[in-house]
Amino acid sequence: MSGPQLREPLIEVKDLYVYFYTYAGIVKAIEDMTFTIYKGEKFCMVGETGCGKSVTSRALANIVPSPGRIVKGKVIYYRDGNPVNILELSEEQLREIRGKEIAYIVQDPSSALDPLYTIGYQIVETMIDHYTVKDWKEGYKRAVELLREVLMPDPEQRIRNYPHELSGGQRQRAVISIGLSNMPRLLIADEPTSSLDVTVQAQLLELLRRLVREHGLTLFLITHDMGVVAEMCDRVAVLYAGNIVELAPVDEIFKNPKHPYTMGLLRAVPNPQADIEKLEPIPGTIPNLIYPPPGCRFHPRCPFARDACKREKPPLVEVSPGHYVRCWLHAE
Amino acid sequence: MADIKRFLARRALTFIPTLIGVTFLAYIIAFAIPANPAQAWAGGIKANPEVVARIIREYHLNDPWYVQYYYFMKGILTNSIIDPRWGYPVMTYMLSRFPITFQLTLFALFFLIVLGIPLGIISALKKDSWIDALVRTWALVGVSVPIFWLGYIFIYIFFYQLGWINIAGIPYPKVHITGVPIIDALLSGEWNIVLENIKRFILPGFTLGFAGIGVIARLVRNSFLEAISSDYIYFARMRGLKYRRIMTHALRNALVPVVTVLGLQFGGLLGGAPITETVFSIPGMGRAMVDAIFSMDFPLLIAGTFLVAIIYVITNLIVDILYAVIDPRVRF
């Protein structure tokens, strides 16, 4: 469970800073973000709404939504063994990578699909524009196969349907087939099931797990659901207010959480791997990132906060092999 | 297909109250005018009382308004109302004037589409540039400037000062297929007649469409901006689609509301035709209606109103059908 044996990096994020330039001020959404996703692993990022999970995932293909801007950092992508910095590529080079090598599955399939085109068309155009199929005819055949693979009922009929004619689960299946259509090397699933009801969620997660296994994909999963983390991931990064506060193999996080935020998070949700009597919310609310708290961003809500926490930002340190924590309690 | 038949039947039924309402209003207004049309039609103050009496009998002018209206509508529908001034059946006379007005509105519509839509797109793509400011100003000025003033200014500049255009006569081609001069000339390949028609109609068409161009450009700008900032366009970028394909998606979505407004504008153009035709002395339906007002020729006036109403409801029917063709979410 502690990840693949061959630790060959696929993508390395180094010292990434993403700011949003809004009228109200500069939102410091991501600061000092460093992590690596290894080939073939299932990497998870977990955190509350607005903590920067989605923004981080978008930065991997340099497609941070406006008014966000990557102000600093590197995203090294190992393309056939050659490292390239995603942030230095031209728009056309990026286009070739997006959707083909790094593909996304988004959170809300109803607004992500163009309402005026059939889902078949939208699957095929994704392949046509990346030259992975010869022509539209072959594309449609491939689209039927893809839909069958994601367990869409009646795929031959469904390719002719418009998004509004499908159910939420079917639309998400369509979006997953778009993500898979070019057999990407990295599949980024941004809360792929949070807009669906629970039974469909379980089905789709199972499906994702099978697809990743069968096609040898690398999965970068974003979620706020610790249950999904436990079920799906090899390694997990816990985000708080734009910082990674803890990064560890999934078992470590559940059995041996180090950061007060992670511990709070685990007490606030039903923990599948530990018995807890009562769910406890974390006191306070997430900070305004235009004026982030000085020092450790979690200190206003932290029960163990000390003077150092208010003054200086703690570094991310390795407390045991593969287990990193950003906290003054563990820094010394 | 069965659906579209039912839709058309249903819509055709809604025509009836619309047409009755429009003609009824026009009739009541004509009826309420304290004038003696019979005297005027018979030749004014020195008219022969016998002729006046015959006219009163013929047109039921001494009957209550509902009896008059009944005979009038019956006469319109069977085309048996004779114009008191010209001696033709009024519908025949109006219909003979119709092709010219139709040609004028075609020119105006051409400007609406060919200038309005691209201007809107450019101003959306270059938001807050000089062209964007131009479009916004145009929309405001367009609806504020009266057509007759604009028409005379244009005549002064382009005819009197520059001499680029022609403002007398309508060049007809030798063949008569549709009755619309420029279409017939195009069909029979009489290119010099086409050119003469363009020279004759380009300025009136532009004048008539002037307000609409600004309105359409403004609308296209806003709906294009909305489309381009939508989730499906963002997802299209995440899928790595080519720029041109992304723009096609945005444009098609942006044009959905524009089609409706173009239909409504067509009605507005017909409404503006009387003034434009008078200013540019074009012998169309609008001009005939203005003349009818001056000579108290109410049968002709109401026949014209009836015809305009019919064209308007038919245009809206076409718009509704087009709407369903563009947007799959709309069903009959």
| Inter-chain residue contact A115 with B329, CB threshold 8 Å | yes
CA distance B30 to B50: 24
Nearest-Cα distance to chain B for A112, in Å, is 4
Residue type, A79: R
* Interface residues of chain B, partner chain A, Cβ below 8 Å: 230-232, 234-243, 245, 249, 252-253, 256, 326-329
Q: Interface pTM (ipTM) of the complex?
A: 0.91
Assigned CATH topology for domain A9-101+184-331 = Rossmann fold (3.40.50)
More confident site: B148 or B236: B236
pLDDT for the residue B332:
60
Give A219's contacts (C-beta < 8 A, 6+ positions apart).
A41, A42, A43, A186, A187, A189, A208, A212, A232
CA distance B212 to B116: 8
Residue A10 has pLDDT above 90, yes or no: yes
Among candidate residues A135, A108, A128, the one with its CA nearest the CA of residue A182:
A128
**Best mutation site among B127, B225, B234, B238 for testing chain A: the one with the most A CBs within 10 Å?**
B238
Contact between A18 and A52 (Cβ < 8 Å): yes
Give the tens place of pLDDT for each residue, A293-313.
Answer: 888 999 888 888 888 888 888
Peptide bond into A303 cis (omega under 30): no
How much is the pTM? 0.83
Residue A3 has pLDDT above 50, yes or no: no
When pLDDT is averaged across residues A271-294 and rounded to a whole number, the result is 79
Model confidence band, residue A16 (pLDDT cutoffs 50, 70, 90): very high
CA distance A201 to A131: 32
Flag the least confident range among A180-184, B25-29, B138-142: B25-29
pLDDT for the residue B25:
85
Which chain B residues touch A126 with a CB distance below 8 Å? Answer: 239-241
Q: What is the mean pLDDT of chain B?
A: 85
The shortest CB-CB distance from B240 to any of A96, A106, A162 is to: A96
Nearest-Cα distance to chain B for A309, in Å, is 39
Largest CA distance in chain A: 66
Among candidate residues B87, B72, B85, the one with its CA nearest the CA of residue B20:
B72
Q: How far is CA A47 from the centre of its chain?
A: 10
Nearest chain B residue to A165 by CA: give it: B329
Side by side, the strands of the sheet bearing A186-190 are A102-105, A186-190, A218-223, A42-46, A235-240, A243-249, A323-326, A316-320
Model confidence band, residue B186 (pLDDT cutoffs 50, 70, 90): confident
Share above pLDDT 90 across residues of chain A, in percent, rounded to a whole number: 58
CATH 1.20.58.1610 fits B98-299, yes or no: no
More confident site: B254 or B309: B254
Nearest-Cα distance to chain B for A96, in Å, is 6
| Inter-chain residue contact B329 with A117, CB threshold 8 Å | no
When pLDDT is averaged across residues B97-101 and rounded to a whole number, the result is 89
Nearest-Cα distance to chain A for B331, in Å, is 12
Contact between A189 and A105 (Cβ < 8 Å): yes
Flag the least confident range among A57-66, A150-159, B128-137, B241-250: B128-137
Residue B199 has pLDDT above 90, yes or no: no
When pLDDT is averaged across residues B280-284 and rounded to a whole number, the result is 88
> Which sequence spans correspond to the domains of chain B?
98-299
Pairing mode, if any, of strands A68-79 and A243-249? unpaired
Flag the least confident range among A120-124, A322-326, B190-194, B213-217: B190-194
> Which sequence spans correspond to the domains of chain A?
9-101+184-331
Model confidence band, residue A272 (pLDDT cutoffs 50, 70, 90): low
User: In sequence order, what DSSP letters do the residues of B112-149 get, joined into one string?
Assistant: IIIIIHHHHHHHHHTTTSHHHHHHHHHHHHHHHS-HHH
Which chain A residues touch B230 with a CB distance below 8 Å? Answer: 111
The shortest CB-CB distance from A63 to any of B237, B241, B242 is to: B237
Nearest-Cα distance to chain A for B123, in Å, is 19
Q: Is the dihedral of CA B21, B22, B27, B28 positive or negative?
A: positive
Give B130's contacts (C-beta < 8 A, 6+ positions apart).
none
Nearest chain B residue to A162 by CA: give it: B328
Residue B264 has pLDDT above 90, yes or no: no
Which chain A residues touch B239 with a CB distance below 8 Å? Answer: 98-99, 103-104, 126, 129, 178
Model confidence band, residue A4 (pLDDT cutoffs 50, 70, 90): very low
Nearest chain B residue to A181 by CA: give it: B239
pLDDT for the residue A88:
93
| Inter-chain residue contact A129 with B256, CB threshold 8 Å | no
Q: What is the mean pLDDT of chain A?
A: 89
